[in-house]
């Protein structure tokens, strides 16, 4: 691992320790960064607009899961909210999941 990658990993682990949230994913607990301040992408002109649902982005270390999260899988947070994966982007260290948020009913 390069010095830059090692520095990024150290910084990410510190961020997870300070601001990470415990989530349940595939019946296992893990710590991830949860960004609840996302806004939906603007719609294109002429496109039908549906009621927006809350979006979240979850970033977790690749080493915390055996395989990449897939669209449709669900993270559950400590408040009982569900984060359904819509898209996944992979970096050398993490998976970034854009999710739809739904509260328990």
17-39 in b/e form (b: 16+ CB < 10 A) is: eeebbebebeeeebebbbeeeee
Kindly compute the dihedral angle of the four CA atoms of residues 71, 77, 81, 85, in this order, to the nearest 10 degrees: -10
Number of domains in the chain: 1
The parent domain of residue 52 ranges over: 3-102
pLDDT of 105: 58
The answer, as to whether pTM is greater than 0.75, is: yes
Q: What are the φ/ψ torsions at residue 94 (nearest 5 degrees)?
A: -135, 170
The CATH number covering residue 27 comes to 2.40.10
pLDDT band for position 54 (cuts 50, 70, 90): confident
pLDDT of 43: 56
- pLDDT, one tens digit per residue, over 58-104 is 999 999 999 999 999 999 999 999 999 999 999 999 999 999 998 76
pLDDT of 28: 96
Burial status of residue 58 (CB atoms within 10 A of its CB: 0-12, 13-18, 19 or more): buried
């Amino acid at each position: 691992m390069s010095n830059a990658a090692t520095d990024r990993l150290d910084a990410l682990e510190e961020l997870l320790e300070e601001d990470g949230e415990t989530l349940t994913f595939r019946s296992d607990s893990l710590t991830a960064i949860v960004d609840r301040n996302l806004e939906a992408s603007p719609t294109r002109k002429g496109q039908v607009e549906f009621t927006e649902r809350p979006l979240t982005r979850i970033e977790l270390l690749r080493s915390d899961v055996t395989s990449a999260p897939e669209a449709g899988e669900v993270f559950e947070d400590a408040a009982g909210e569900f984060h359904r994966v819509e898209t996944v982007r992979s970096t050398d260290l993490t998976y970034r999941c854009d999710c739809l948020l739904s509260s328990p009913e």
